Structure 1
Amino acid sequence: MKPLLDKNLTPFLKRFDNFLDAEFRSIEIVSPTVIKIALAAQDSARGFDWITIELEFNGVNDARVPDNSKLSHIDMSKGITLVYADNQFIFGVGDYNCSNITDSICYIKAISLKYLEGEF
């Protein structure tokens, strides 16, 4: 896994078009402070082929994650929110900002973030 730094968030999100119409594959709670999620998205760096992106959040201090059985019902038409604010990474499904991210059906706040590119 590669670290995803705050300065690289904008190009990362642009590469995957903010994960608009992506597919939520899985959520794994590794420990109380580590959560992994897998998303399938189109990669503009690969001719818009579909790939799987795994995000690993470390130092999780707040989260709401749905059960894996409900992931296929999550509307990903608005993509994801992924920002760095207040010395933490803030992730949410949908178009949110830092102040209302807790309104998202799925959100994670963590100290660090890593990612891994995989096959579709």
Structure 2
Amino acid sequence: MKPLLKKDIDAFLKRFDNFIDAELRFIEIVSATTVKITLAAQDSARGFDWITLTLEFNGISDAMLLENSKLSHVDMSEGITLLCENNLFAFGIGSYNDLRNITDSLCYIKADSLKYSQDEF
């Protein structure tokens, strides 16, 4: 797992086109304060080949998660939002512009840190 820093979030989202039309694969609750989300997305750095990415959130202070059985039905046409405000990382399905409204997402996470790993499709 590699840390995703605040300064790298915009480039990361651009590389994967904000995860528009990506596939949510799996949500794993590792502990009360750690969650992993696995997605499949097209990588512009690899000629838009599909790859699997895992996002790991640590130090979670607030979250609303979906059951894995419902993930294949989630509309990903607006992609995801990744933000970092006040040293807090936030993830949400859909397009949101600040930490306050990300809780409107049907699935969101607020955490102290964010890491990622990439793998084959």
Question: Does TM, scored on the shorter chain, surpass 0.5?
Answer: yes
The equivalent residue for 1:37 is 37
Moved over 6 A (4+): none
Q: Which residue of 2 aligns with 1:113?
A: 114
Q: What is the letter of the counterpart of residue 20 of structure 1?
A: I
Aligned to 1:66, what secondary structure does the other structure show? coil
Report what 1:100 is aligned to: 101
Segments of 5+ residues of structure 2 without an aligned counterpart are: none
CA distance in 2, matches of 1:45, 1:26: 24
**What SS class does the counterpart of residue 78 from structure 1 fall into?**
coil
Shift of 1:96: 1.2
C-alpha offsets along residues 7-38 of structure 1, whole Å, 9 cap, x if unaligned? 11011000000000000000000000000000
List runs of 5+ in structure 1 lacking aligned partners.
none
CA distance in 1, matches of 2:102, 2:70: 19
Which deviates the most, 92-101 or 14-23? Answer: 92-101
C-alpha distance in 2, partners of 1:118/1:88? 26
Other structure's SS at 1:76 match: coil
Rounded Cα–Cα distance in structure 1 between residues aligned with 2:73 and 2:33: 26
Task: Report the identity percentage.
Answer: 69
Q: TM-score, normalised by structure 1?
A: 0.98
Deviation for aligned residue 1:99: 1.7
Cα distance, 1:41 vs structure 2: 0.3
2:14 counterpart residue number: 14
Once the two structures are superposed, residues 22-74 of structure 1 have per-residue CA deviations (whole angstroms, 9 ceiling, x without a partner) of: 00000000000000000100000000000000000000000000100000011
Deviation at 1:119, TM superposition (A): 0.7
Aligned length: 120
Q: Separation in 2 of the partners of 1:55 and 1:99?
A: 21
What is residue 47 of structure 2 aligned with on the other side? 47
Secondary structure of 2:21's match?
coil
Q: What is the Cα-based RMSD across aligned positions, in Å?
A: 0.6
Q: Distance in 2 between matches of 1:9 and 1:44?
A: 15
Number of the residue aligned with 1:71: 71
